[in-house]
Amino acid sequence: MSPLSKRILSSLIFLPLFISLLIYGTTFHFMLLVAAAALIGLGEFFSFKEERMSFPLRLFAYIWSALIFFGALLGEPSYILGTLVGGVFLALLIRLKNGEKIKGVVDELGFLFLGIFYVSLLISYLILLRGLDEGALWVLLLFVITWSGDTSAYFAGRSFGRRKFFEAVSPKKSVEGFIGGFLGGIGASIIFKGLFFQEITLADSIIVGAVIGVLGPLGDLCESLFKRSCEVKDSGVLIPGHGGILDRIDSILFSTPFVYYFATMNYGAKL
């Protein structure tokens, strides 16, 4: 089976489950799904590090992440900020307790903090977004733009790709693919607005599509940067044709906070 066929098959299995839970489940149910994906993704991120992180710090990272997700479920960004600050202090205390192994402390803690901020914090905005008025529609808009952009970039790159785009980080990406994905995401945003989300204006649908069209590939490139620096090809093998969880959520990590703040600032969306 070709990689494209595996991608399509995996999507046909996971997409209906995701959309059904998003629309018919509560924010709590959605939080459980996001938390499960994030914790798996965090484990994949930690696996990039050649020298295994100590068990106390890894365990603390999962507990720390769970508290961040709980704060997102409560709809309290200030709680999330407090949890982040408190977690930094606790992580330092845990590492001080294991003070006999001083070499590599900065690398270990730096990797821990990067994983928490890059994976757990950014994806917690997906829970915050689902808790808003019309939250399910905002989440769907985010994913429709991202998926459409990824698909458009894939076919535009295969058909017209000539000029490389950050070749040292991701050799297969091209400028033509980026442009195709950018335009595909804007088009998908306009269509979604017309069919399902009349509450937002046409101009705003174009703005959201355009910004996600930039932030999505940026998130993808950043994960590629992390993997390439650690000499890792895929974050995992959990999803056939896609790799690991991180390989699937990297395109939404930077986009989700933007959509959350855009919704709350421009449409007064409340929790």
Structurally, how many domains does the chain consist of? Answer: 1
Distance in angstroms (rounded) separating the CA atoms of residues 156 and 188: 15
**What pLDDT does 241 receive?**
47
Q: Which domain holds residue 80?
A: 3-267
> Tens-of-pLDDT digits for all 271 residues of the chain?
445 554 555 566 677 778 888 888 888 999 999 999 999 999 999 888 867 788 888 999 999 999 999 999 998 788 898 999 999 999 998 888 766 677 778 888 999 999 999 999 999 999 999 999 899 999 999 999 999 998 898 888 787 867 777 777 777 788 888 899 999 999 999 999 999 999 999 999 999 999 999 999 999 889 888 888 887 776 555 555 456 788 888 899 999 999 999 999 988 765 4
Torsion sign, CA atoms 103, 52, 125, 141: positive
Total count of residues recorded for the chain? 271
Q: How far is CA 31 from the centre of its chain?
A: 14
Q: Among 141, 139, 14, which residue's Cα sits nearest to residue 72? A: 139
What's phi and psi for 8, nearest 5 deg? -65, -45
Distance CA 92, CA 188 (A): 45
What is the C-alpha separation between 67 and 65, in angstroms, rounded?
A: 5
Q: Say what the pLDDT of residue 244 is.
A: 77
